[in-house]
Amino acid sequence: MTAYIFRRLLLMIPTIIGIMGISFLVVQFAPGGPVEQVIAQLSGQGDSADQRLSGGGDMLGEQFGGADESSQYRGAQGLDPELIAKLEAQFGFDKPPLTRFLEMMWNYIRFDFGESFFRNTSVIDLIIEKLPVSVSLGVWVLLISYAISIPLGIRKAVRDGSSFDVWTSAVVVIGYAVPGFLFGILLIVLFAGGSFFDWFPLRGLTSDNFDELTWWQKILDYFWHLALPLTALLLSAFATTTLLTKNSFIDEIKKQYVVTARAKGLNERQVLYGHVFRNAMLIVIAGLPAAFISAFFTGSLLIENIFSLDGLGRLGYLSIVNRDYPVVFATLYIFSLLGLVVGLISDLIYTWIDPRIDFDRRDV
Protein backbone atom coordinates (compact mmCIF):
# COMPACT_ATOMS: atom_id res chain seq x y z
CA MET A 1 0.00 0.00 0.00
CA THR A 2 2.89 2.37 0.70
CA ALA A 3 4.16 1.93 -2.85
CA TYR A 4 0.66 2.61 -4.22
CA ILE A 5 0.29 5.80 -2.16
CA PHE A 6 3.72 6.98 -3.31
CA ARG A 7 2.81 6.35 -6.97
CA ARG A 8 -0.47 8.20 -6.61
CA LEU A 9 1.25 11.16 -4.98
CA LEU A 10 3.80 11.29 -7.79
CA LEU A 11 1.02 11.05 -10.37
CA MET A 12 -0.66 14.12 -8.84
CA ILE A 13 2.25 16.31 -9.94
CA PRO A 14 1.90 15.91 -13.73
CA THR A 15 -1.90 15.83 -13.38
CA ILE A 16 -2.11 19.18 -11.62
CA ILE A 17 0.48 20.68 -13.97
CA GLY A 18 -1.55 19.43 -16.94
CA ILE A 19 -4.80 20.87 -15.60
CA MET A 20 -3.25 24.24 -14.86
CA GLY A 21 -1.24 24.26 -18.09
CA ILE A 22 -4.25 23.62 -20.34
CA SER A 23 -6.31 26.23 -18.48
CA PHE A 24 -3.46 28.75 -18.70
CA LEU A 25 -3.12 28.09 -22.43
CA VAL A 26 -6.84 28.60 -23.02
CA VAL A 27 -6.72 31.91 -21.16
CA GLN A 28 -3.97 33.19 -23.48
CA PHE A 29 -6.38 33.00 -26.42
CA ALA A 30 -9.45 34.27 -24.57
CA PRO A 31 -10.42 37.83 -25.54
CA GLY A 32 -11.23 40.52 -23.04
CA GLY A 33 -8.40 39.98 -20.56
CA PRO A 34 -7.78 42.20 -17.52
CA VAL A 35 -5.83 44.79 -19.53
CA GLU A 36 -8.71 45.10 -22.00
CA GLN A 37 -11.16 45.27 -19.10
CA VAL A 38 -9.39 48.32 -17.67
CA ILE A 39 -9.00 49.87 -21.13
CA ALA A 40 -12.75 49.54 -21.64
CA GLN A 41 -13.35 51.24 -18.30
CA LEU A 42 -10.96 54.09 -19.10
CA SER A 43 -12.59 54.54 -22.51
CA GLY A 44 -16.06 54.52 -20.96
CA GLN A 45 -17.07 51.37 -22.85
CA GLY A 46 -17.05 48.78 -20.07
CA ASP A 47 -19.91 47.58 -17.93
CA SER A 48 -20.17 48.33 -14.23
CA ALA A 49 -19.24 44.93 -12.84
CA ASP A 50 -18.82 45.13 -9.08
CA GLN A 51 -15.36 45.60 -7.60
CA ARG A 52 -13.84 45.96 -11.08
CA LEU A 53 -11.38 48.71 -10.29
CA SER A 54 -11.46 48.84 -6.51
CA GLY A 55 -7.77 48.02 -6.30
CA GLY A 56 -6.47 47.56 -9.81
CA GLY A 57 -7.13 50.95 -11.37
CA ASP A 58 -6.40 53.34 -8.53
CA MET A 59 -2.80 53.82 -9.51
CA LEU A 60 -3.73 54.88 -13.04
CA GLY A 61 -4.61 58.54 -12.82
CA GLU A 62 -3.76 59.53 -16.37
CA GLN A 63 -6.07 58.25 -19.07
CA PHE A 64 -5.79 59.65 -22.55
CA GLY A 65 -2.69 60.68 -24.45
CA GLY A 66 -1.18 60.02 -27.83
CA ALA A 67 -2.79 57.49 -30.11
CA ASP A 68 -1.54 53.93 -30.06
CA GLU A 69 -2.82 52.51 -33.33
CA SER A 70 -0.56 49.44 -33.20
CA SER A 71 -1.72 48.16 -29.81
CA GLN A 72 -2.69 44.49 -29.58
CA TYR A 73 -5.60 45.37 -27.29
CA ARG A 74 -9.06 46.19 -28.56
CA GLY A 75 -10.17 49.69 -27.72
CA ALA A 76 -6.64 50.90 -26.96
CA GLN A 77 -6.56 53.40 -29.83
CA GLY A 78 -6.22 56.86 -28.39
CA LEU A 79 -4.60 55.75 -25.12
CA ASP A 80 -1.05 56.61 -24.13
CA PRO A 81 1.32 53.68 -24.85
CA GLU A 82 2.94 54.28 -21.46
CA LEU A 83 -0.42 53.70 -19.81
CA ILE A 84 -0.79 50.37 -21.67
CA ALA A 85 2.71 49.41 -20.54
CA LYS A 86 1.81 50.24 -16.93
CA LEU A 87 -1.29 48.08 -17.18
CA GLU A 88 0.69 45.16 -18.58
CA ALA A 89 3.28 45.47 -15.82
CA GLN A 90 0.58 45.75 -13.16
CA PHE A 91 -1.13 42.54 -14.29
CA GLY A 92 2.13 40.73 -15.07
CA PHE A 93 1.58 40.60 -18.83
CA ASP A 94 4.92 42.24 -19.53
CA LYS A 95 6.56 38.79 -19.19
CA PRO A 96 6.51 35.84 -21.63
CA PRO A 97 3.66 33.33 -21.06
CA LEU A 98 6.00 30.49 -20.07
CA THR A 99 7.71 32.67 -17.46
CA ARG A 100 4.34 33.70 -16.02
CA PHE A 101 3.15 30.10 -15.87
CA LEU A 102 6.30 28.84 -14.15
CA GLU A 103 6.20 31.68 -11.62
CA MET A 104 2.51 30.99 -10.95
CA MET A 105 3.12 27.26 -10.36
CA TRP A 106 6.09 27.96 -8.10
CA ASN A 107 3.96 30.30 -5.99
CA TYR A 108 1.05 27.85 -5.92
CA ILE A 109 3.29 25.03 -4.72
CA ARG A 110 3.99 27.23 -1.69
CA PHE A 111 0.25 28.12 -1.47
CA ASP A 112 1.03 31.74 -2.29
CA PHE A 113 -1.93 32.79 -4.44
CA GLY A 114 -1.14 36.48 -4.61
CA GLU A 115 -3.57 39.39 -4.78
CA SER A 116 -6.80 39.75 -6.70
CA PHE A 117 -6.55 41.95 -9.79
CA PHE A 118 -9.69 43.93 -9.08
CA ARG A 119 -10.28 43.48 -5.34
CA ASN A 120 -7.99 45.05 -2.81
CA THR A 121 -7.38 41.82 -0.91
CA SER A 122 -5.47 38.56 -1.15
CA VAL A 123 -6.95 35.61 -3.02
CA ILE A 124 -6.75 33.26 -0.03
CA ASP A 125 -8.67 35.76 2.12
CA LEU A 126 -11.38 35.92 -0.55
CA ILE A 127 -11.66 32.13 -0.65
CA ILE A 128 -11.83 31.88 3.15
CA GLU A 129 -14.49 34.61 3.22
CA LYS A 130 -16.73 32.84 0.70
CA LEU A 131 -16.10 29.29 1.95
CA PRO A 132 -18.81 29.11 4.67
CA VAL A 133 -21.66 29.58 2.18
CA SER A 134 -20.47 26.78 -0.11
CA VAL A 135 -19.73 24.51 2.86
CA SER A 136 -23.25 25.09 4.19
CA LEU A 137 -24.77 24.02 0.89
CA GLY A 138 -22.43 21.04 0.45
CA VAL A 139 -22.83 19.65 3.97
CA TRP A 140 -26.62 19.87 4.01
CA VAL A 141 -26.99 18.44 0.51
CA LEU A 142 -24.79 15.51 1.52
CA LEU A 143 -26.57 14.82 4.81
CA ILE A 144 -30.10 15.11 3.44
CA SER A 145 -29.38 13.13 0.27
CA TYR A 146 -27.76 10.28 2.24
CA ALA A 147 -30.58 10.31 4.84
CA ILE A 148 -33.11 9.79 2.04
CA SER A 149 -31.11 7.80 -0.52
CA ILE A 150 -29.89 4.99 1.75
CA PRO A 151 -33.31 3.98 3.20
CA LEU A 152 -34.83 4.40 -0.27
CA GLY A 153 -32.11 2.25 -1.86
CA ILE A 154 -32.60 -0.48 0.76
CA ARG A 155 -36.35 -0.43 0.23
CA LYS A 156 -35.90 -0.68 -3.53
CA ALA A 157 -33.50 -3.62 -3.15
CA VAL A 158 -35.92 -5.53 -0.90
CA ARG A 159 -38.80 -4.88 -3.31
CA ASP A 160 -36.79 -5.24 -6.51
CA GLY A 161 -39.02 -5.47 -9.57
CA SER A 162 -42.17 -4.32 -7.73
CA SER A 163 -44.30 -1.35 -8.75
CA PHE A 164 -42.68 0.66 -5.92
CA ASP A 165 -39.23 -0.03 -7.37
CA VAL A 166 -40.34 0.93 -10.89
CA TRP A 167 -42.02 4.24 -10.10
CA THR A 168 -39.37 5.38 -7.61
CA SER A 169 -36.68 4.59 -10.20
CA ALA A 170 -38.58 6.70 -12.73
CA VAL A 171 -38.82 9.61 -10.26
CA VAL A 172 -35.12 9.38 -9.36
CA VAL A 173 -34.00 9.24 -13.00
CA ILE A 174 -36.24 12.14 -14.04
CA GLY A 175 -35.00 14.19 -11.09
CA TYR A 176 -31.42 13.44 -12.08
CA ALA A 177 -32.10 14.50 -15.67
CA VAL A 178 -33.67 17.87 -14.80
CA PRO A 179 -30.98 20.60 -14.59
CA GLY A 180 -30.80 22.01 -11.09
CA PHE A 181 -30.57 25.61 -12.26
CA LEU A 182 -33.80 25.30 -14.28
CA PHE A 183 -35.58 23.84 -11.27
CA GLY A 184 -34.13 26.68 -9.18
CA ILE A 185 -35.60 29.26 -11.56
CA LEU A 186 -38.95 27.47 -11.34
CA LEU A 187 -38.81 27.61 -7.54
CA ILE A 188 -38.11 31.35 -7.68
CA VAL A 189 -41.03 31.94 -10.03
CA LEU A 190 -43.37 29.90 -7.84
CA PHE A 191 -42.26 30.65 -4.28
CA ALA A 192 -39.90 33.66 -4.17
CA GLY A 193 -42.06 36.47 -5.48
CA GLY A 194 -41.61 35.64 -9.16
CA SER A 195 -45.23 35.36 -10.31
CA PHE A 196 -47.15 33.45 -7.67
CA PHE A 197 -46.16 33.25 -4.00
CA ASP A 198 -43.65 35.28 -2.02
CA TRP A 199 -42.87 32.79 0.73
CA PHE A 200 -39.08 32.56 0.64
CA PRO A 201 -36.21 35.09 0.39
CA LEU A 202 -34.32 35.43 -2.86
CA ARG A 203 -30.80 36.24 -1.70
CA GLY A 204 -28.30 35.50 1.04
CA LEU A 205 -28.24 32.96 3.88
CA THR A 206 -29.51 35.31 6.58
CA SER A 207 -31.84 38.27 6.96
CA ASP A 208 -30.67 41.84 7.49
CA ASN A 209 -31.80 41.73 11.13
CA PHE A 210 -30.11 38.38 11.80
CA ASP A 211 -27.99 39.74 14.69
CA GLU A 212 -31.13 40.97 16.47
CA LEU A 213 -32.85 37.57 16.44
CA THR A 214 -32.89 35.04 19.27
CA TRP A 215 -30.91 31.81 18.83
CA TRP A 216 -33.92 29.76 17.71
CA GLN A 217 -35.06 32.53 15.37
CA LYS A 218 -31.58 32.54 13.83
CA ILE A 219 -31.83 28.80 13.15
CA LEU A 220 -35.24 29.21 11.53
CA ASP A 221 -34.04 32.19 9.51
CA TYR A 222 -30.99 30.24 8.31
CA PHE A 223 -33.03 27.27 7.07
CA TRP A 224 -35.68 29.61 5.64
CA HIS A 225 -33.00 31.07 3.36
CA LEU A 226 -31.58 27.62 2.58
CA ALA A 227 -34.89 26.01 1.63
CA LEU A 228 -35.02 26.85 -2.08
CA PRO A 229 -31.28 26.50 -2.92
CA LEU A 230 -31.13 23.13 -1.15
CA THR A 231 -34.25 21.91 -2.92
CA ALA A 232 -32.74 22.85 -6.28
CA LEU A 233 -29.47 21.08 -5.48
CA LEU A 234 -31.11 18.01 -3.95
CA LEU A 235 -33.22 17.26 -7.01
CA SER A 236 -30.39 15.43 -8.76
CA ALA A 237 -28.46 14.38 -5.66
CA PHE A 238 -30.45 11.22 -4.89
CA ALA A 239 -29.90 9.17 -8.02
CA THR A 240 -26.32 8.00 -7.64
CA THR A 241 -26.46 7.07 -3.95
CA THR A 242 -29.93 5.52 -4.22
CA LEU A 243 -29.04 3.25 -7.14
CA LEU A 244 -25.62 2.45 -5.66
CA THR A 245 -27.23 1.40 -2.38
CA LYS A 246 -29.87 -0.68 -4.17
CA ASN A 247 -27.38 -2.54 -6.36
CA SER A 248 -25.01 -3.14 -3.46
CA PHE A 249 -27.80 -4.66 -1.33
CA ILE A 250 -29.04 -6.80 -4.21
CA ASP A 251 -25.54 -8.20 -4.71
CA GLU A 252 -25.24 -9.07 -1.02
CA ILE A 253 -28.74 -10.54 -0.75
CA LYS A 254 -27.88 -13.09 -3.46
CA LYS A 255 -24.80 -14.39 -1.62
CA GLN A 256 -24.61 -17.74 0.15
CA TYR A 257 -24.27 -16.40 3.70
CA VAL A 258 -27.71 -14.77 3.38
CA VAL A 259 -29.23 -18.13 2.39
CA THR A 260 -27.49 -19.73 5.38
CA ALA A 261 -28.80 -17.02 7.74
CA ARG A 262 -32.34 -17.55 6.51
CA ALA A 263 -31.95 -21.32 6.89
CA LYS A 264 -31.06 -20.78 10.55
CA GLY A 265 -34.48 -19.22 11.10
CA LEU A 266 -33.60 -15.53 11.12
CA ASN A 267 -36.37 -13.24 9.93
CA GLU A 268 -35.87 -10.84 7.01
CA ARG A 269 -35.20 -7.84 9.25
CA GLN A 270 -32.49 -9.71 11.16
CA VAL A 271 -30.91 -10.89 7.91
CA LEU A 272 -31.09 -7.47 6.29
CA TYR A 273 -29.77 -5.33 9.15
CA GLY A 274 -27.76 -7.91 11.06
CA HIS A 275 -25.75 -9.29 8.13
CA VAL A 276 -26.43 -7.65 4.77
CA PHE A 277 -26.39 -4.02 5.90
CA ARG A 278 -22.81 -4.05 7.20
CA ASN A 279 -21.37 -5.56 4.02
CA ALA A 280 -23.57 -3.71 1.52
CA MET A 281 -22.80 -0.31 3.03
CA LEU A 282 -19.03 -0.68 2.59
CA ILE A 283 -19.00 0.74 -0.92
CA VAL A 284 -21.39 3.56 0.04
CA ILE A 285 -19.28 4.57 3.04
CA ALA A 286 -16.07 4.37 1.03
CA GLY A 287 -17.51 6.79 -1.51
CA LEU A 288 -18.39 9.37 1.16
CA PRO A 289 -15.36 11.66 0.58
CA ALA A 290 -15.96 11.80 -3.16
CA ALA A 291 -19.68 12.38 -2.55
CA PHE A 292 -18.87 15.32 -0.29
CA ILE A 293 -16.67 16.92 -2.93
CA SER A 294 -19.37 16.37 -5.52
CA ALA A 295 -22.03 17.92 -3.28
CA PHE A 296 -19.66 20.74 -2.39
CA PHE A 297 -18.88 21.85 -5.94
CA THR A 298 -21.40 20.35 -8.38
CA GLY A 299 -23.96 22.93 -9.43
CA SER A 300 -22.83 25.48 -6.84
CA LEU A 301 -21.81 28.02 -9.48
CA LEU A 302 -25.24 28.28 -11.09
CA ILE A 303 -27.28 27.81 -7.90
CA GLU A 304 -25.29 30.42 -5.97
CA ASN A 305 -25.74 32.92 -8.77
CA ILE A 306 -29.44 32.22 -9.21
CA PHE A 307 -30.12 32.68 -5.48
CA SER A 308 -27.47 35.41 -4.98
CA LEU A 309 -25.50 33.38 -2.44
CA ASP A 310 -22.05 34.85 -1.89
CA GLY A 311 -20.06 31.61 -1.99
CA LEU A 312 -17.19 30.13 -3.97
CA GLY A 313 -19.39 29.44 -6.99
CA ARG A 314 -20.44 33.07 -7.31
CA LEU A 315 -16.89 34.20 -6.60
CA GLY A 316 -15.64 32.01 -9.45
CA TYR A 317 -18.31 33.31 -11.81
CA LEU A 318 -17.58 36.98 -11.09
CA SER A 319 -13.85 36.31 -11.36
CA ILE A 320 -14.28 34.76 -14.80
CA VAL A 321 -16.51 37.60 -15.97
CA ASN A 322 -14.07 40.23 -14.67
CA ARG A 323 -11.03 38.25 -15.89
CA ASP A 324 -9.64 38.19 -12.35
CA TYR A 325 -7.15 35.48 -13.24
CA PRO A 326 -5.44 35.10 -9.82
CA VAL A 327 -8.80 34.13 -8.27
CA VAL A 328 -9.74 31.90 -11.22
CA PHE A 329 -6.47 29.96 -11.23
CA ALA A 330 -6.22 29.76 -7.44
CA THR A 331 -9.70 28.25 -7.06
CA LEU A 332 -9.00 25.87 -9.96
CA TYR A 333 -5.73 24.79 -8.35
CA ILE A 334 -7.29 24.26 -4.91
CA PHE A 335 -10.30 22.36 -6.26
CA SER A 336 -8.17 20.16 -8.53
CA LEU A 337 -5.71 19.37 -5.76
CA LEU A 338 -8.55 18.66 -3.34
CA GLY A 339 -10.20 16.35 -5.87
CA LEU A 340 -6.98 14.36 -6.37
CA VAL A 341 -6.39 14.04 -2.63
CA VAL A 342 -9.98 12.96 -2.00
CA GLY A 343 -9.64 10.32 -4.73
CA LEU A 344 -6.64 8.88 -2.89
CA ILE A 345 -8.48 9.02 0.44
CA SER A 346 -11.42 7.13 -1.10
CA ASP A 347 -9.08 4.35 -2.24
CA LEU A 348 -7.54 4.14 1.23
CA ILE A 349 -10.99 3.90 2.81
CA TYR A 350 -11.85 1.06 0.44
CA THR A 351 -8.82 -0.93 1.59
CA TRP A 352 -9.48 -0.10 5.24
CA ILE A 353 -13.09 -1.27 5.02
CA ASP A 354 -12.39 -4.30 2.84
CA PRO A 355 -8.83 -5.69 3.30
CA ARG A 356 -9.39 -7.98 0.30
CA ILE A 357 -8.85 -4.98 -1.98
CA ASP A 358 -5.16 -4.67 -2.82
CA PHE A 359 -4.17 -1.75 -5.04
CA ASP A 360 -0.53 -2.79 -4.97
CA ARG A 361 -1.37 -5.65 -7.34
CA ARG A 362 -2.73 -3.35 -10.03
CA ASP A 363 -1.36 -0.43 -11.98
CA VAL A 364 -2.26 3.11 -10.97
pLDDT per residue as tens digits for the range 133-153:
888 888 888 888 889 988 999
pLDDT for res 233: 84
**CATH H superfamily, domain 124-321:** MetI-like (1.10.3720.10)
Secondary structure in 3-state letters for the chain: CHHHHHHHHHHHHHHHHHHHHHHHHHHHHCCCCHHHHHHHHHCCCCCCCCCCCCCCCCCCCCCECCCCCCCCCCCCCCECHHHHHHHHHHHCCCCCHHHHHHHHHHHHHCCCCCECCCCCCEHHHHHHHHHHHHHHHHHHHHHHHHHHHHHHHHHHHHCCCCHHHHHHHHHHHHHHHCCHHHHHHHHHHHHECCCCCECCCCCCCCCCCHHHCCHHHHHHHHHHHHHHHHHHHHCCCHHHHHHHHHHHHHHHHCCHHHHHHHHCCCCHHHHHHHHHHHHHCHHHHHCHHHHHHHHHHCCHHHHHHHCCCCCHHHHHHHHHHCCCHHHHHHHHHHHHHHHHHHHHHHHHHHHHHCCCCCHHHCCC
50 pLDDT band, cuts 50/70/90, is very low
Residue 357: per-residue pLDDT: 65
pLDDT tens per residue across span 187-218: 888 888 767 888 888 777 888 888 888 889 88
Whole-prediction pTM = 0.73
pLDDT for res 215: 87
The Cα 241–Cα 141 span in angstroms is: 12
Whole-number pLDDT of residue 160: 87
> Domain limits of the chain?
33-122, 124-321
The pLDDT of residue 244 is above 50: yes
- Distance, in Å, from the CA atom of 237 to the CA atom of 235, rounded to the nearest integer, reads 6
Q: What is the pLDDT of residues 67-85, one digit of tens each?
A: 444 455 554 555 556 766 7
